[in-house]
Structure 1
Amino acid sequence: MTKMNQASLKLAAVVLIVAVTVVFWWIVGDQTNEAARQLDAEGVELDYAIRPVNLGPAGERIVGVLACIGAIGASGVLVLGTYTRKVAFGWWWILIPLVGVGAIVGWFWRVLTAGEIGANIGLGFAVIYACPLLVVLLTAAAVATRRLQRDRERRNHPS
């Protein structure tokens, strides 16, 4: 087994965050309600906040399964890195909130791309609830980052 270097650990962290975003996007699935689907089948044009990219059921499944594999693999690399002390445990205080942000973004994207007739009320509720939670998670990650920086500065420049 090759040695883990810092670049591979950083890549694993990025892969984990992106993969969790895609996994949640896949698990949540299309949020277009049944009535809108029936109208779409009859030729009525649906309203979208953002029109989704259509990969089809097989394409979505492939992307979702690959994202699951990526998330599991990246998690394994990071856990092994923590076990072998290549990753400081404090980094998890940054990584976990960012993974939470990825999960919320994956869910939010499905709400944002849901087909509707008229206003997408679910989008309004999603904004009301998701945005404050995103702010809390990003603030937690920023505070943890600052704390790690301060601890590193103390170790490198003792008073």
Structure 2
Amino acid sequence: MPAAPPPHAGGMPHPTARTARTARPADVLAVAALAAAVPVLTWYAVGDLSVQGTDLDHAYRAPELPAWADAGLVAAALLAAGLAAARLLRPAGLLRRDRRWWGVLLPAAATGLLAGWGVRVATAGVIGANIGAGLVLLVGVPLGGALLLWAVGRAGVLLRRPASTT
């Protein structure tokens, strides 16, 4: 029987082609599912931001969905977020094996928060001009785009590099 390779710095076994892989496809899918669930859950948590009154102006009109579709969308987002978090945070999960993935998950989640909140602001019924919708377009969209580009770029880098041994 061949002897195991000696431990290297830090007392951990030397990474091999099998152990050096940082993320499995299911891990990457869990990160994506969590990032996709955050805007839906934020949208639901923020709620309608329209002012009270009649004859309201809208910068953008939200699509009219039946109540069952709203509930189903939120339930699916909660389920996806719960399953993804359970996969990522379990003792052998990606975020515990390789903490560098927090640099992907946090910007992706921040993008989702901006998106969910921004949709509620942009579709709010107001009296007069919806200045918040303009601010979302001028500040929120570029910021969310930059955060999302960072998350995708960082994920690409991490998928090409071996896992950190520290």
TM-score by length of 2: 0.66
Deviation of 1:149 after TM superposition, in Å, equals 6.4
Using a 3 Å threshold, how does the CA distance of structure 1 residues 83 and 102 change in structure 2: closer, same or farther? Answer: closer
> 1:78-97 to 2 correspondence within 5 Å?
78-80=88-90, 81-82=93-94, 85=97, 88-97=98-107
Calculate the aligned-residue CA RMSD, in Å: 3.0
Distance 2:156 2:69 in 1: 40
CA contact (8 A) 2:111 2:145 kept: no
* Structure 2 residue 36 is matched with structure 1 residue 18: yes
- 2:125 alignment partner, SS class: coil
Q: What residue number does 1:31 align with?
A: 49
Aligned counterpart in structure 2 of residue 108 of structure 1, from 103, 118, 122: 118
Q: Which amino acid in 1 is paired with 2:46?
A: V
Match of 1:68 in 2: 78
C-alpha separation between the residues in 1 aligned to 2:95 and 2:156? 23
State whether residues 95 and 102 of structure 2, in contact with CA within 8 Å, keep that contact through their aligned partners in structure 1.
no
Report what 1:48 is aligned to: 58
Which structure has the highest helix share of the two? Answer: 1
Aligned residues: 139
Moved more, 48-57 or 93-102: 48-57
With 68-77 and 19-28 compared, the bigger mean Cα shift is at 68-77
Matched-pair identity in %: 35
Task: Quote how far apart the aligned CAs of 1:112 are.
Answer: 1.6
User: How high is the TM-score relative to the length of structure 1?
Assistant: 0.69
The farther-off stretch of 71-80 and 137-146 is 137-146
**Aligned residue in 1 for 2:27:** 9
Determine the C-alpha separation between the residues in 1 that align with 2:25 and 2:114: 26
Q: How far has the Cα of 1:143 moved from its partner?
A: 6.4
Query: Which whole-Å deviations, capped at 9, do the CAs of 1:107-157 have from their partners, x for residues lacking one?
Result: 11111222234321221233344245425534643664476368x28x9xx
